[in-house]
Amino acid sequence: MAKVVGVFNTAHSPFCYMDPERWLEVRKSRSLREDVPLDDQEENLKKGQRIKDAFATLKSKLAEVNPDVLVVFGDDQLECFDFNNFPGFAVYVGEEFEGALSSRDNQMGRNAGGERPAVPKAKVKGHPQLAVGLLTGLMEHGFDPAFCMDMPKPERGIGHAILRPTESLTNFDIPVVPVLLNCYYAPQPTAARCYEFGKAIRDVIDNHPSDLRVAVVGSGGLWHTPGAKNAWLNEDFDREQLRFLEAGDIRGMAEHFDNYEIPSGDSSQYVGERGRGSTGMPGFGGPQGGTRETCNWIAAAGVIDGTRSTIVDYVPVYSSPVGAAFSYATDIS
């Protein structure tokens, strides 16, 4: 039978890949709450190095468990789907896929000529055998995910939530199964549903008729509301999420997420009008916007519910703002 050999959770914010010397410059284009701290250049350089070190730690730990395949939980931000058809969960079952690399993040915006920079891309090998097993197994567990046999929008490819951790943690030498969650567009799956989704995937992997060594990755988060008005960073919320993760209490992590109530007047999470990045429909409890990428972590950690994770680092990047966090678990029970 297949075996889960590790779970790795990682931030994928553009600020994790951008030269930290540019953080202050980009901050000027953001609408931040007045109480968001301001780091100087020296502190930003230190935080940028911490992020690099955290990526290196995760990559090293992943290499140690030597997986045959990665299952990456990531959200889709209109790269594959749109409001014509947006599933809560989807599994990519194709032979290979393509997506943008992170190198454009250091340019963020348009070049000197006023044009958007070219998007460097990479091809990644899929793993149809495991992917189809996950798809059919999830259906037997009461989930009905969509599936993609080819890239729905070839010109866009698979989103950065899948490509960035693949780029950061591997040398593109390990097949990847993208598992896409709707984190951004209300009504999204609750954190509790994502937790149950992760538990179901563990059961499917454990019963898969192969000797595959499977590593799982949760991509994104933690707290961030990119591009929102009066954005801010709730470090207390993030640290409580990480406390549950470290203890292996993933049900508690999901409940803490779902029970969060957006304070009256917090415009950073306003989703009341339909637009390019908002359906205008109501969502369930918990933070909105990019912070819901934390559900990718909850799904991934749900795969090893009860197993403690090691928190590598939590780096508050105020220029975004984003809580960039990194964790791993390799002693799987």
In this prediction, residue 277 carries a pLDDT of 82
In this prediction, residue 273 carries a pLDDT of 85
In this prediction, residue 276 carries a pLDDT of 82
In this prediction, residue 104 carries a pLDDT of 56
Rounded to the nearest integer, the mean pLDDT of the chain is 94
Q: Is the pLDDT of residue 274 over 70?
A: yes
In this prediction, residue 226 carries a pLDDT of 83
* Domain assignment present for 113: no
Task: Look up residue 47 and give its two tokens.
Answer: 């935080």
Q: How confident is the model at residue 110 (pLDDT cuts 50, 70, 90)?
A: very low
Q: Is the pLDDT of residue 114 over 60?
A: no
Q: How confident is the model at residue 105 (pLDDT cuts 50, 70, 90)?
A: low
* Domain assignment present for 112: no
In this prediction, residue 106 carries a pLDDT of 55
How many other CB atoms sit within 10 Å of the CB of residue 265? 7
Q: Is the pLDDT of residue 115 over 70?
A: no
Pick the range with the lowest mean pLDDT from 13-17, 120-124, 268-272, 316-320: 268-272
Q: Distance between CA atoms of 27 and 5, rounded to whole angstroms?
A: 39
Contact status, residue 86 vs residue 125, Cβ threshold 8 Å: no
In this prediction, residue 27 carries a pLDDT of 95
Mean pLDDT, rounded, for 272-291: 90
The percent of residues in the chain predicted with pLDDT above 90, rounded, is 90
Residue pLDDT, tens place only, 198-253: 999 999 999 999 999 999 999 999 999 888 999 999 999 999 999 999 999 999 99
Residue pLDDT, tens place only, 178-194: 999 999 999 999 999 99
| Cβ neighbours for 83, distance < 8 A, ≥ 6 positions apart | 185, 279
In this prediction, residue 227 carries a pLDDT of 85
Q: Is the bond preceding residue 187 a cis peptide, omega within 30 degrees?
A: yes
Q: How confident is the model at residue 108 (pLDDT cuts 50, 70, 90)?
A: low
Q: Is the pLDDT of residue 111 over 60?
A: no
C-alpha distances in Å from residue 124, one per residue of 69, 72, 101, 176: 12, 12, 11, 7
In this prediction, residue 112 carries a pLDDT of 52
* Domain assignment present for 53: yes
E strands, the chain, are: 3-10, 69-75, 89-92, 96-100, 121-125, 146-148, 176-181, 213-219, 310-317, 322-329
* Domain assignment present for 114: no
* Domain assignment present for 161: yes
Q: Is the bond preceding residue 321 a cis peptide, omega within 30 degrees?
A: yes
Indicate the pTM of the whole model.
0.96
**Which residue range(s) make up the domain with 102?**
3-106+119-329
* Domain assignment present for 129: yes
- Of all helices (H) and strands (E), which one includes residue 258? helix 250-258
The CATH number that applies at residue 254 is 3.40.830.10
Q: Is the pLDDT of residue 319 over 90?
A: yes
Q: Distance between CA atoms of 26 and 227, rounded to whole angstroms?
A: 11
In this prediction, residue 270 carries a pLDDT of 86
Q: Tally the domains of the chain.
A: 1
Residue pLDDT, tens place only, 7-31: 999 999 999 999 999 999 999 999 9
